[in-house]
Amino acid sequence: MGKNKKALSATDDVEDINISPLIDMVFILLIFFIVTTVFVEEPGIDIVKPMAFNAADLPKNCILIGVTESDNVFYGGEEVGLNGIRLKVRRLIRENSDYPVIIQVDAGASNGTIARLIDECKLAEVPAGQIHLSLDKLNN
């Protein structure tokens, strides 16, 4: 017992805890989280949506397409038109076929444009049941 007291005398240096590896690990985990996080691309336009009684929240990983009142089709903030949307959707579906296609429709958009857009999504090989129209919830 006498030797232990002598070993821990005030003249001896006590080793500090080195937290550098812990900080390195935290930064690596933070970088991993930032790199693997998927962000939802908004269509980049303001859309006035019609009201619906049975609305659900959008999934986090999805393909958002916007249709304006003047029947312009947008994806990722740029106008792609009905002719250009098929290639964009096909490329995204080939990357991940689990992504649903959400079509955000302005209340003034024509039904013909919406029908053609749904047809273009089907021709882009979107799996059955993965095409949805986005409607606002009623404020009750």
On whether residue 94 sits in a domain, the answer given is: yes
What tens digit of pLDDT does each residue of 62-93 get? 888 988 888 899 988 888 888 889 999 899 88
Q: How far is CA 24 from CA 12, 29, 61, 109, 121, in A?
A: 30, 9, 30, 52, 45
pLDDT (average), residues 93-113? 86
On whether residue 15 sits in a domain, the answer given is: no
Q: Which of the four pLDDT bands, split at 50, 70 and 90, describes residue 4?
A: low
> What is the pLDDT, as a whole number, of residue 69?
86
Residues in a beta bridge with 65: 103
DSSP H helical segments within 9-137, as ranges? 20-36, 81-95, 111-123
> What is the pLDDT, as a whole number, of residue 52?
57
On whether residue 71 sits in a domain, the answer given is: yes
Residues near 114 by beta carbon (within 8 Å), at least 6 away in sequence? 67, 103, 105, 133
> What is the pLDDT, as a whole number, of residue 24?
94
Residues in a beta bridge with 50: none
On whether residue 106 sits in a domain, the answer given is: yes
133: domain CATH number?
Answer: 3.30.420.270
120: helix, coil or strand? Answer: helix
DSSP state of 20: H
List the single range of 12-26, 38-52, 95-109, 121-135 with lowest mean pLDDT.
38-52
Supply the range of the domain harboring residue 81: 51-137
